Chains A and B, each alone.
Chain A
Amino acid sequence: MIRDTTIGAKLWITAVWAVVIFFVLNLAAMIVAVILSSFGTRWLGTWLPAGFTDRWYFAAWSEFQLHDVLIVTFQIAFIVVALSGLLGVTAAYALARRDFPGKKLVMLLFLLPLLVPPITFGIPLATVLYQAGVGGTFWGVVIANLVPTVPFVILVMIPFIEQIDPKIEAAARVFGANTFKLFIHVLLPMLVPGILAALLLVLVRTVGMFELTFLTAGPTSQTLVVALYYSVFASGVRAVQSIDAMAVIYMITTLVWLLIALRFVNPTQIVARAKQAPAQQ
């Protein structure tokens, strides 16, 4: 390691860490403020709420019909996870094992939905879904959420599958396994960590996906994040504390899955999608 001992270098390093600490402090304070507010009785013009209570959680639970919203959220999230796993892993296997004309084009096709922001493609997509009659329904939301998650699973899984020695598959073939058996008995057990990581990230992304769900959801197919948006949007109507209670419930539903996912992946992989492992071998 190179040591810089000049005054300038030390000042620079201090400044860099000061920025990091400033950022993390603000982030933490923002989250803590939401949590405190959700447990506070009255919070006006003071550093801390006047007293603490848990009644806002009961209020939020009944006011926002969180029971129904949570059930819908998890139904949508788990169906999206299952379908994107099914479509994504099989396609990733084909792309990892075969070279065919037009493969680059196919990879570009899968890259685009991840690069184009959801609101840009969400509006034409919502238009098409409404015309097809699935807009505003449960399945409309599922389809819209699958648009970025299927390519996401594919791009995460390709490197995982490439790591597996094709000789193992050849051996299974020699012993008479067909493609389906090969998948179930040979590939799947070896791919479990990769699939688990990819699907957990899909779950986190679907629970937190605002734009696509917002554009395609109807009154009965709202997920938690969209319900949270509507309550913040109409924030004069409800007590701030019950909106914050809902925000805390949303945070918990997202962070639980994130923490589980982080046991399998590195945080940098969540944004750096397909990129894996350092460049040098």
Chain B
Amino acid sequence: MADPQPSLRQRLALRGIDGVTLLALPAILFVLAVFIYPFAYGLLLSFEPKEGGALANYQRFFSDPFLYRTIATTLWLAIPVTVISLALAVPIALRVRLMTRQRLLTTILVLPVTLGTVLVAEGLLNYLGPQGWFSRTLMLFGVIEHPLKLTNNYWGVFASLIITGFPFTFLLTLSYVTGIDPALEHAAATHGAGAWQRFRHVFLPLLAPGLAISACLSFVQAFAVFPSAILLGAPAGPTRVISIAAYQAAFEQYDYSMASAIAMIMAAVQMVIVVAILAFRNLFYRGSTAGGKG
């Protein structure tokens, strides 16, 4: 056909699709195959239970207290950890921002994030244990009479989540705090704003988007707590978190359909909280964190 229009190749190139764009294809196909496909497969599988109707897995989950209580157990760990991490991270990041040599502190704090939960669990079993240095120091100062019970219960898992979660939240918050133009604070100070007023009316509105993201990410991380809940907690009772339920369904009962259903419920709970945090964030200011005109 003698078409006066440019060839398909040229038309595609005009829209930004050419040989170079195709370089993204292998990675896209890979992520589709190993991330999106398993998720979709898991979702469908969760509606094909070993026995019963399509919703049998979900009905079983929400009628068995041993299963549905895992949601509350996990939230009871993840929400306090997120709130405390964030409440500590913001004032500390605001101070650290003023340091000229932050590198040493940030390097120390990135250690627990890199070492991971398994190592922290092993370290804390020793350190927080009845013979560990923590109880020993408190007894030396006469704060307590007998060693505290901090392992194989809620507090062990809580401590391990703070040790890995706080540095993560802090480093994330620090990257947002350092993105705010210091001139804005100076302007507020020139106009006579006190420290609290500067925080409340200058930093907080500008930080809101960053804090919302930090809160979401630290919540999601804490909600997915797994090895430390087993190693440092009481996985049969007080720290039977949702990931343990999913793992047991998959690798102890070989009920992949139920395991997928629990994984989907886990993802749904995470999504609900993330959406709630982002909706709450929308009540605040939106705009540039840079100074100057605009």
Residues in chain A within 8 A of chain B (CB atoms): 1-2, 4, 9, 12-13, 16-17, 19-20, 23-24, 26-27, 29-31, 33-34, 37, 43-45, 47, 87-88, 90-91, 93-95, 97-101, 103, 106, 109-110, 112-113, 115-121, 123-128, 143-144, 146-147, 150-151, 154, 179, 204, 208-211, 214-215, 225, 228-229, 232-233, 235, 240, 243-244, 247, 250-251, 254-255, 258, 262, 266-272, 275, 278-280
- Main secondary structure, interface of B, reads helix
Q: Say whether A247 contacts B123, CB under 8 Å.
A: yes
Interchain Cβ contacts under 8 Å between A and B, 8 examples? A2-B185, A24-B105, A30-B126, A208-B114, A211-B224, A211-B227, A229-B231, A267-B109
A98 cross-chain contacts in B, Cβ below 8 A:
16-18, 20-21
User: Which DSSP category, helix, strand, loop or mixed, fits chain A's interface?
Assistant: helix
**Contact between A147 and B109 (Cβ–Cβ < 8 Å)?**
no
Assuming the A-B contacts A91-B23, A94-B24, A210-B117, are A119 and B243 also in contact, with contact meaning beta carbons closer than 8 angstroms in the complex?
yes
- Nearest B-chain residue to A262, judged by Cβ: B107
B279 within 8 A of A: no
* Interface membership of B86, Cβ < 8 A: no
**Known contacts A88-B27, A117-B223: A280-B291 contact under CB 8 Å:** yes
Among B22, B23, B92, max chain A CB count under 10 A is at B23
Per the bound structure, the CA–CA distance linking A37 and B132 in Å amounts to 11
Q: State whether the Cβ of B256 lies closer than 8 Å to any Cβ in chain A.
A: yes
Chain B residue at smallest Cβ distance from A126: B250
CB-based contact A128/B38 at 8 Å: yes
Q: Are the CB atoms of B220 and A117 closer together than 8 Å? A: yes
Residues of B within 8 A of A17 (CB): 95
A20-B16 contact in complex given A123-B259, A150-B27, A208-B116, C-beta closer than 8 Å: no
| Residues in chain B near residue A97, CB distance under 8 A | 20
User: Which chain A positions have C-beta within 8 A of B112?
Assistant: 27
Q: How far apart are B263's CB and chain A's nearest CB, in angstroms? A: 4
B1 interface contact, C-beta 8 A: no
Contact in complex: A117, B224 (CB < 8 Å):
yes
When A210-B116, A232-B121 are in contact, do A123 and B131 touch as well, CB less than 8 Å?
A: no
Contacts known (A45-B131, A267-B171); A125 close to B34, Cβ less than 8 A: yes
A210 near B41: Cβ-Cβ < 8 Å: no
- Residues from chain B with a CB closer than 8 A to the CB of A215 are 247, 251
Q: How far is the CA of A262 from the CA of B110 in the complex (A)?
A: 10
Residue of B nearest to A116 (CB): B267
Interface contact B21-A100, CB-CB below 8 Å: yes
**Total A-B residue pairs with C-beta atoms closer than 8 Å?**
270
- Which residues on the A side are within 8 Å of B185 (C-beta)? 2
Q: Which chain A residues border B239 with CB–CB below 8 Å?
A: none
Q: Which 9 A-B pairs have the closest CB atoms?
A: A124-B42, A117-B224, A91-B27, A94-B24, A100-B16, A267-B106, A272-B175, A94-B23, A30-B123
**Chain A residues, Cβ within 8 Å of B275:** none
User: Quick one: closest A residue to B262, CB to CB?
Assistant: A123
Q: How far is the CA of A95 from the CA of B289 in the complex (A)?
A: 26
Cα–Cα distance between A259 and B137 once the two chains are bound (Å): 31
Contact with A along B210-235 (1 / 0, CB 8 A): 00000001001101101100110000
Known: A33-B127, A100-B17. Is A123-B260 also a contact (CB below 8 A)? yes
* Residues of chain A within 8 A of B91, CB atoms compared: 12, 16
A94 in contact with B21 (CB, 8 Å): yes
User: CB within 8 A of A267: which of B21, B28, B110, B227?
Assistant: B110
- Nearest chain B CB to A178 CB, angstrom units: 10
Q: A30-B120, A210-B117, A215-B251 are in contact. List 9 more A-B contacts (CB 8 A).
A: A33-B132, A115-B217, A124-B38, A127-B256, A179-B20, A244-B126, A267-B103, A269-B175, A270-B171
| Residue from the list B15, B231, B246 in contact with A232, Cβ < 8 A | B231
Q: Min CB distance, B264 to chain A, in Å?
A: 8
